[in-house]
Amino acid sequence: MKPMSNKDQKPVALITGASRGLGAALAEALASTHHIVAVGKTTGALEELDDRIKAKGGEATLAPMDITVEPAMQQLCRSIFDRWGKIDLWLHTAIFAAPLSPAGHMPPKDLTKSIDTNIGATARLISYIEPLLGATGKAVFFDDPRAGEKFFGAYGSTKGAQIAMAKSWQAETEKTGPSVRILTPAAMPTATRGRFFPGEDRSKLASTHDEAARLLPQILG
């Protein structure tokens, strides 16, 4: 990454989980006003996102990385600091959606990955990104309240823990910043929801781009 002068610098939006779904839609929605740092595991999907952003006159930095790999996230945040010195906005849409299963029969590997991704990686990212956000930056989390629903033991419990962590951070930084926000998107036809509800009529769901447009004022306001 090359240094950028302050006068040429757009606000920087880091989006973890930008490959597809709401994360990708938010990246496109923000690209006209922000430089996007797009983090995701799927290189091809990130490249397609980059093409769409460029077609709209925006710019993105692609970071094909797994958020559970601690050294990779440390290096990413160090590179962001070296280039821009800060982050103005962090949107955390990355999630591991374990297959549905009865609580007594959750595969250990699915539970472990749920904990590592939805709780452990989120905790580490907060500690790395908070100094980059400073007092004036914004962090946004996206709730999906499934805790306690049948067959959602792994996903619901770890997603609920992630949001509980975000709420604690929100309360801790209320007077000092950064600003921490928690939004609840409408149901969308994402790959994650498709795995949970394979027979659902997806035509009745909100498109990711429409939902990104609806949420944007709450994110930036």
| pLDDT (tens digit per residue) in 190-201 | 999 999 999 999
- Within 8 A by CB and 6+ apart from 181, the residues are 138, 139, 140, 141, 170, 218, 219
How far is the C-alpha of 205 from the C-alpha of 201, rounded, in Å?
A: 8
Give me the pLDDT at residue 80, please: 98
pLDDT at 5 over 90: no
Mean pLDDT across the chain: 95
Q: Which of 47, 22, 16 is nearest to 122 (CA)?
A: 16
Sign, CA dihedral 203-205-209-213, equals positive
pLDDT classification of 8: cutoffs 50, 70, 90? low
Q: Which of 219, 154, 150 is nearest to 185 (CA)?
A: 219
Determine the average pLDDT of the residues in 70-99.
Answer: 98
Look at the block and give the residue holding tokens 């549905």: 100
Q: pLDDT per residue over 25-66, tens digit each?
A: 999 999 999 999 999 999 999 999 999 999 999 999 999 999
Give me the pLDDT at residue 158, please: 98
Hey, what domains does the chain have and what are their CATH numbers?
9-220 (3.40.50.720)
Q: Which of 157, 158, 183, 159 is nearest to 170 (CA)?
A: 183
